[in-house]
Chains A and B, each alone.
Chain A
Amino acid sequence: MFFIKKILLLASVYFYLSQSSFASSILEVDFQQAVNKAESIFEGEVVATTPEMSADGIIYTYVDFLILDVLSGDLNVGESITLRFTGGTTNGLTFSVGSTIPAIAEHGVYFIESMDRQLINPLYGWSQGHYRIQADGHIIAGDNQVVIGADKNATNTASNTKLSKGIATGIITLPQQQINNPPLAPPILLDEFKLLIKDVKTQ
């Protein structure tokens, strides 16, 4: 039993080492802010990722998204856009600033801060503007937990000092293993999440 536990532990450590990370200090934003300040918000799918290294060893990953639905901004369904993320891996070298880079085939809802300006991470508030959609329709926020609700009116009262925990103020999440335990609320699904975004946008 001890050996099996040890093997399972090693397997979980290996899995764990492959996860993305946070290694920078980003201020927390609230959901209202994220919706209203993002230049555009869309549902999309990652169709390609291309890492490139500059002469000084900075690696950027160019991520191509196919746009499936536009929730705000000047984008068109069916078109592809490319966003540049700082960080990535190429030729055995990994460069990281703690930014989570969307992976190939990822389906998600993305809040773009700016299409024109070069940013460390083009998503608003970094992982606070990054929501992955699982095959079961559940939405995974930047803290790697399942979104179960959102308080549209939540505001960040300590916006100058509160560091991001990966999710915007007002987004409520639970660990995957707890989501179906009553009396906790069930996960929010994609259509409901999109409706919330549109509601906040028109508020």
Chain B
Amino acid sequence: MSLSHRILGSLLLPLIFIPSQNALSEALGTKWPKASAIFLTGGLPVGGPASSLPGNTETWRVAATEAANRWNSKQSAFKLTTLSTLGNGVCQSFGDNNLVFSLTACGGIPFEDKVLAITASWSNDTTIIKADIIFNVDRDWGIYNDTLLYSTQDFRRVATHEFGHAMGLKHTTNNNALMFPTASDIFSPTPDDVESLESIYKEEKDSGGSITYLFLLALGIWPLRLISTHKKAD
């Protein structure tokens, strides 16, 4: 098969290969120990965006809190709290969890042109100990709902998405989810996002039993009592 045939064949693929609509956001493999985190928004500027877009009457800090509340109002597996005080330790492995606008990413490295925001996280093994969300100040930011504007990034929408990463979610292939990697008219977590988050933080309860379970099996002990407990938990 020639190269041109391969290319032609592969161009037909989008017509016949439809991504699963039930795909959940994947977990990053790390999670917070207490299923909660406090983020400080005092590193965001006082005030809000200058442009007059519909819904663009709020401040950056209020928008960040609303982004956190979009998650809190949809689920109870993880609690996000925002405080408008100034935190310390931005881009350091110790200190507070922060949201900031910056010209540079961690380490004073300028943002690449293509980077909107980064979630920088520190973890010990699989436990997250600290996270900062840093927005590229060089992009054109606004605050608005509904239809996505190609000229202006919606700060609140990106903040909601980045909070998803900060809690431990990866991108999803479900284009009806907030954690789908293309910004869209979706600005709040969908059932797919919620289910993914719940699966991470429900796991702790289940995996404790499962590890004990494997240990007992390895010892040749049939863990009847655990089996019945586990079935109840399921």
Contacts and interface: CB of A to CB of B under 8 A. Distances in A.
Interface string B125-148: 110000000000000000000001
Interface stretch (A24-32, A63-71, A103-111, A132-140): A24-32
Contact of A148 (B13, B153, B170): B13
Interface in A55-107: 56-58, 60, 86, 92-98
Interface in A24-53: 24-29
Interface stretch (B36-44, B61-69, B103-111, B190-198): B103-111
B210 A95 contact: no
B122 interface: yes
A195 B115 CA distance: 29
**Interface on chain A toward B: helix, strand, loop, or mixed SS?**
loop
Interface footprint category on A:
35 or more
Interface residues of B, number: 61
Given A21-B29, A57-B94, A27 B126 contact: no
A160 B151 contact: yes
A60 to B, nearest CB: 7
**Interface on chain B toward A: helix, strand, loop, or mixed SS?**
mixed
B220 interface: no
Interface stretch (B50-58, B75-83, B157-165): B157-165
Contacts of B181: 22, 25, 163-166
Interface of B: 1, 3, 6-7, 9-11, 13-14, 16-17, 26-30, 91-94, 105-107, 109-112, 114-126, 148, 150-151, 153, 158, 161-162, 165-166, 170-171, 181-183, 203, 207, 210-211, 213-214, 217
Interface of A: 3, 6-7, 10, 13, 16-19, 21-29, 54, 56-58, 60, 86, 92-98, 113, 117-121, 125-126, 148-152, 158, 160-166, 172, 174, 178, 183-186, 188, 192, 195-196
8 contacts: A10-B214, A23-B28, A25-B117, A56-B92, A94-B122, A97-B105, A149-B6, A165-B171
